[in-house]
Structure 1
Amino acid sequence: MSEQGLLKRSIAELIGTYMLVFLGTGSVVTTVLLVQGSDSIAGNAFFVGIDIAAWFAIGISFAIAIIAMIYAFGHISGTHINPAVSIALWATGRFPAKDMLGYIVAQLIGASLASFTIVAILGSRAVDTGLGATAMFDGVSYGQAILCEAVATFFLMLTIMGSAVDKRAPAGFAGLAIGLVVAADVIVVGNITGSSLNPARTFGPYLADFLLGGSNLWWQFPIYIIGPIAGAVIAALLYDYVADAKENN
């Protein structure tokens, strides 16, 4: 990471999170608009009109945004674009507390601006789709949702540690590895919790939805704080133990 000041690095985080949420949740909004009016299969609430092909497309959209931003800003801010990642790096002693707080504020602002931009482009029909807000699907309990987000984020953070944080990793492949694991997470657990993995990614759509007359899903927000942060911190600590990462960096 470069020695840029906190303000410049935070701006990079804001832009990176903006692109992540705009392209990622934008793909959800577009998908819902395309399938709007589709009926669910009787007796199968798991199917809501978005099939596995659509989840694949959504996952790839998130992956492309992440890959692009890692290669654009990785050398400037590290491209956390996720409060859970910033907190995990702080928890393992790699990131100062003041920088972590600056990054998280920037990430939340970037995510919110992205959601409001989608509405500015598509109008109220975007709000009617839910703006790509993450939520528990039918038959999923609160505890199951937290566990799901923790496991999926564990995979993400483990990949970040091994491909980007550990200096022994082959150079140049971090963006691809991280983007692809996010795509896989979205494809597998998208229809369970929406596959957030990222408190900021959930915060932006929740805020815009709430302020613009859409759904009020704030009661589910703890899922997307507890799950991702727990998964990320456990992954970072476990990687340090298994790989002796600190001793070799």
Structure 2
Amino acid sequence: MSEISLFKRSIAELIGTYVLVFLGTGSVVTAMLLVQGANRIPENSFNVGLNIEAWFAIGIAFAIAIIAMIYAFGHISGTHINPAVSIALWATGRFPAKDMMGYIVAQLIGASLASFTIVAILGSRAVDTGLGATAMFDGVSYSQAILCEAVATFFLMLTIMGSAVDKRAPAGFAGLAIGLVVAADIIVVGNITGSSLNPARTFGPYLAEFMLGGTNFWWQFPIYIIGPIVGALVAAFVYDYVTELKSCE
């Protein structure tokens, strides 16, 4: 991987994050449009008209995007497609700081381009749905939302460490394992925080919504920075600690 230039690896991260956000948040927009088309008015903003079947479909859409991009670009850039993952790998000495910033910028650009593309295809009605932006639901406090994102991202990063980073893992299954744990996270906590697990995934819809006259969600953005980064860091260090103990037995 080090033989491939940072520019080319960053392009792979940009494309990978673009696909993730386009397919993932695009599924949210589609679900919301279907709800509106069926004239189903949500009883409150907690359920926003989406039932468990819709959240399952959204989770699978994200999973498919992640699985496809890991198999497409895993051997090129590692397919981080998530600033929290890049930061956790840097913090544990697996990723150079000089590359980390290039990856994060590429991820943010890819996510933003995906959200603007959804609007280019669907028009202002996509903005009216919120563009799949993540946000706290009714009855969820700021601190609870941060904890929720941290716990869900812990599961994601732990899976990444065990299936992709650890060279002892069986080859060829990382994409499937990582995609499925993201799907499970979305199905379980989607109705709590939107289940971002990824600052870039939240950044793209927030930026497009704000610039195109939609809802201003930026006051909630710290939730989706602090939660995912803390969860990813804890998972990476816990995995290293546990596997070091195992190797000494």
TM-score category by the smaller chain? over 0.9
Q: Which AA in structure 2 matches 1:154?
A: F
SS of match in other structure, 1:171: coil
Structure-2 residue corresponding to 1:139: 139
1:151-177 alpha-carbon deviations (Å, 9 max, x no partner): 000000000000000000000000000
Question: Structure 1 pair 101/64, CA: closer, same or farther in 2 (3 Å)?
Answer: same
For the Cα contact (< 8 Å) 1:19–1:65, is it kept in 2?
yes
Note the 1:96-175 alignment, pairs <5 A.
Answer: 96-175=96-175
Q: In structure 1, which of residues 32, 38, 41 is the aligned counterpart of residue 40 of structure 2?
A: 38
Q: Which AA in structure 1 matches 2:111?
A: A
Structure-2 residue corresponding to 1:74: 74
**Structure 1 residue 88 corresponds to structure 2 residue 66:** no
Q: Which AA in structure 1 matches 2:87?
A: I
Structure-2 residue corresponding to 1:188: 188
1:177-211 alpha-carbon deviations (Å, 9 max, x no partner): 00000000000000000000000000000000000
Counterpart Cα distance in 2 of 1:66 and 1:30 = 19
Note the 1:52-67 alignment, pairs <5 A.
Answer: 52-67=52-67
Structure-2 residue corresponding to 1:23: 23
Counterpart Cα distance in 1 of 2:61 and 2:34 = 16
For the Cα contact (< 8 Å) 1:12–1:77, is it kept in 2?
yes
SS of match in other structure, 2:95: coil
TM (normalized to structure 2)?
0.96
TM (normalized to structure 1)?
0.96
Q: Which AA in structure 2 matches 1:181?
A: V
For the Cα contact (< 8 Å) 1:2–1:75, is it kept in 2?
no
Counterpart Cα distance in 2 of 1:245 and 1:194 = 36
SS of match in other structure, 2:154: helix
Work out the percentage of aligned pairs sharing the same amino acid: 86
Aligned length: 246
For the Cα contact (< 8 Å) 1:239–1:245, is it kept in 2?
no
Question: Structure 1 pair 191/4, CA: closer, same or farther in 2 (3 Å)?
Answer: same
Note the 1:203-222 alignment, pairs <5 A.
Answer: 203-222=203-222
Structure-2 residue corresponding to 1:178: 178
Q: Which AA in structure 1 matches 2:59?
A: G
SS of match in other structure, 1:145: helix
Question: Structure 1 pair 92/74, CA: closer, same or farther in 2 (3 Å)?
Answer: same
1:35-77 alpha-carbon deviations (Å, 9 max, x no partner): 0142234xx6532210000000000000000000000000000
Instruction: Flag structure 1 segments of 5+ consecutive residues without an equivalent.
Output: none
SS of match in other structure, 1:244: helix
Q: Which AA in structure 2 matches 1:94?
A: R
Give me the CA root mean square deviation: 1.5
For the Cα contact (< 8 Å) 1:166–1:245, is it kept in 2?
no
Instruction: Flag structure 2 segments of 5+ consecutive residues without an equivalent.
Output: none
Counterpart Cα distance in 2 of 1:45 and 1:17 = 28
